[in-house]
Amino acid sequence: MNRTPDTVKHLIIINIIMFLASQMMPNQMMNLFAMHFPFNPVFRIWQIVTHMFMHANLMHIAFNMYALWAFGIPLYHIWGEKKFLIFYFTAGLGAVLLYTGIQYYSFSQDMHQLMIQGISKDEIFQVLDSGKVYVNYKEMGATYYSVMLGASGAIYGLLVAFAFYFPNAELMLMFIPFPIKAKYFVPLLVLADLFFGLTNALHTPIAHMAHVGGALVGFILMKMWRKHDFERWY
């Protein structure tokens, strides 16, 4: 850590502080800083950013902070502080935008179907606010009370950038017992998230589409910054 750039070190420290605070005051921290569905009364505009500093458990924060450290340091040395922070937070915002956009579309479709049946919008929200769900629209209730948190979207953006700069660097995960070059590893990882996000085949609480959103924004930024001088973007 002594040789870690201050910017990367400070991001890690803030994440750790937020995690420790969320262990001591779980309900208060989640309600204030995790990203809630925009129609939920608990939603606050700052959650669009603060959710990046919240994590569900020790493994969640450990994996993300290790990735931030491992991939963030070489990218920081290429970009410098300002460009690194712009990239990191833009990828994180892209993650929440795609994830919430998909949620909003699905929620709106269900609401439309209920309104066709003669149920008013006010009645729908009264039911949801009471903690109940419509039997045939359980996914709508799950969306309404969903919570998104973690730095994973921003991390996926960094992964994409790393693959651009170091395509032949060999990477591996615990459940893949052999190294794979970054130019193959990162696209496969994103495609896996896209598949599981669209199918929910694993039935896990992981926000796969947030990962895809962060990776997509990271890809777009890298393409933009390759074509244009970065001075135009700040």
Average pLDDT over the chain reads 89
Half-sphere exposure of residue 170: CA atoms within 13 angstroms, side-chain side = 5
Tens of pLDDT, residues 133-164: 787 788 888 889 989 999 999 999 999 999 99
According to the model, what pLDDT value does residue 206 have?
A: 82
- CB proximity list for 52: less than 8 A, separation 6 or greater: 89, 92, 150, 151, 153, 154
Rounded average pLDDT over 75-83: 94
According to the model, what pLDDT value does residue 228 have?
A: 60
Q: Residue 207 pLDDT more than 90?
A: no
Q: Give the span between the Cα atoms of 14 and 116, in whole angstroms.
A: 47
Q: Residue 132 pLDDT more than 80?
A: yes
Rounded average pLDDT over 51-74: 94
According to the model, what pLDDT value does residue 203 have?
A: 61
Full-model pTM:
0.89
Q: Give the span between the Cα atoms of 164 and 153, in whole angstroms.
A: 17
Q: Which amino acid is residue 221, in one-letter code? A: L
According to the model, what pLDDT value does residue 205 have?
A: 73
Q: Residue 189 pLDDT more than 80?
A: yes
- Kindly indicate the confidence band of residue 233, based on its pLDDT and cuts at 50, 70 and 90: very low
Domains of the chain from N-terminus onward: 6-233 (1.20.1540.10)
